[in-house]
Amino acid sequence: MLVDSTALLRRMTEADLDAAYGLSAEQKWPHRPEDWAMLQALGQGYVIEDDGKVVGTAMSWPFGETAATVGMVIVSPACQGRGLGRALMDALLGDLGGRTVMLNATAEGEPLYRKIGFVETGVILQHQGVPNAVPVIEMLPGERVRPMGSKDLPLLRDLSRAATGMDRDAVTDAILADGQCVILTRDNAPVGFAIFRRFGRGYLIGPTIAPDAHGARVLINHWLAANASSFCRLDITEESGLGPWLAELGLPQVGRVVKMVCGAPLPPAPPLPSAQRVQLFSLVSQALG
């Protein structure tokens, strides 16, 4: 579909990944080709070509029939101001039907999303760096961290669904294929987990799902202590309150994006068998949420 006299909107294919990587690198985003490949395998997207060159991208990831996230919305600076970003978003939202759609907006993209009908729901803070000496956190009585076992995948899926209200099984499976996971237990009952994997310039800790901030710190502290000489990144919710603690450990805040949503509120997540409430403290990524 023509957007203007020279710009063509079409579906993204695997053959577009090299060009998409070039666009994100132009924006100084940290995504590796491998990160793009995983995102493309999990979702769907569009590109815009101008004179045969890819100058814009946008992707979406449906989670069941009620929810989706949108991300990797990029328009080359040389082509901005022509309505290309709006055309990409209209195409994505048309595919997603009546789903509730979430995204994390940069300052540059936020005005467009507000015009489309997205509203702010919170803030995500990007923290990264090489951790310095990581002190041991005193655990609660009966609390421990253990490696993920061969039979724990259904548990992780249930915890993710309880924390987000969405069916994110495919995302959990994909990041576990390239990552390591530890589980937080209290009195031998699993109550949270955190995944550590390669991403961008180094490693990313996320998602981190726990019943409270103490549990989240215990999980994150495990990975930082085990990787004290590695560049690590976390994208945390502002309401988590973890920012000052991460900065003290050598991971200062380097970015801020706005959480936005378009559509009806998501229905309540199904309760865990234990009735334990859990929440999301750090994201899989800004694109996937």
* pLDDT tens column, 30-52: 999 999 999 999 999 999 999 88
By percentage, how much of the chain surpasses pLDDT 70? 97
Say whether both 131 and 272 belong to one domain: yes
Say whether both 153 and 31 belong to one domain: no
- Residue 119 located in a structural domain: no
Does position 269 have pLDDT exceeding 80, yes or no? no
Say whether both 275 and 223 belong to one domain: yes
pLDDT (tens digit per residue) in 180-228: 999 999 999 999 999 999 999 999 999 999 999 999 999 999 999 999 8
- Residue 218 located in a structural domain: yes
Looking at residue 267, what is its pLDDT?
A: 74
Which residues, including other chains, have CB under 8 Å from residue 275's CB and lie 6 or more apart? none
Does position 263 have pLDDT exceeding 70, yes or no? yes
Looking at residue 289, what is its pLDDT?
A: 92
| Residues pairing with 189 in the sheet | 186
In which element (H, E) is residue 233 found?
A: strand 232-237
Say whether both 227 and 267 belong to one domain: yes
Q: What is the CATH number of the domain that holds 75?
A: 3.40.630.30
Q: What is the average pLDDT score of the chain?
A: 93
- Residue 155 located in a structural domain: yes
Say whether both 88 and 179 belong to one domain: no
Owner of token pair 């603690």? 245
- Residue 73 located in a structural domain: yes
- Residue 1 located in a structural domain: no
Say whether both 55 and 140 belong to one domain: no
Average pLDDT over residues 142-160: 94
- Residue 105 located in a structural domain: no
Nearest CA-CA partner of 229 in 100, 127, 131: 131
Q: Quick one: the chain helix, strand, coil %, rounded to 5?
A: 30, 35, 35
Looking at residue 275, what is its pLDDT?
A: 58
Say whether both 81 and 164 belong to one domain: no
Q: Which domain holds residue 278?
A: 127-255+263-282
Say whether both 65 and 17 belong to one domain: yes
Which residues, including other chains, have CB under 8 Å from residue 31's CB and lie 6 or more apart? 21, 24, 199, 200
Q: Which of 82, 98, 114 is the last residue of a domain?
A: 98
Would you state the structure tokens that stand for residue 199, as one six-digit string? 């991403």
Say whether both 39 and 144 belong to one domain: no
By percentage, how much of the chain surpasses pLDDT 90? 85
Say whether both 93 and 150 belong to one domain: no
H helices within 14-145, ranges in order? Answer: 17-26, 33-42, 84-96, 110-116
Q: What one-character DSSP code corresponds to residue 2?
A: B
Average pLDDT over residues 111-125: 96
User: What is the total count of domains within the chain?
Assistant: 2
* 8 Å CB contact between 13 and 59: no
Q: What confidence tier does 244 reach under pLDDT thresholds 50, 70, 90?
A: very high
Does position 79 have pLDDT exceeding 90, yes or no? no
Nearest CA-CA partner of 168 in 159, 179, 160, 178: 160
* 8 Å CB contact between 230 and 205: no
Q: Which of 78, 98, 118 is the last residue of a domain?
A: 98
pLDDT (tens digit per residue) in 89-109: 999 999 998 899 999 999 999
- Residue 122 located in a structural domain: no
Burial of 90 per CB tally in 10 Å (0-12, 13-18, 19+): middle
Beta strands 253-262 and 189-199, pairing class: unpaired
Q: What is the CATH number of the domain that holds 250?
A: 3.40.630.90
Looking at residue 274, what is its pLDDT?
A: 67
- Residue 16 located in a structural domain: yes
Q: What's the pTM value of the predicted model, to 2 decimals?
A: 0.94
Looking at residue 257, what is its pLDDT?
A: 97
Does position 120 have pLDDT exceeding 70, yes or no? yes
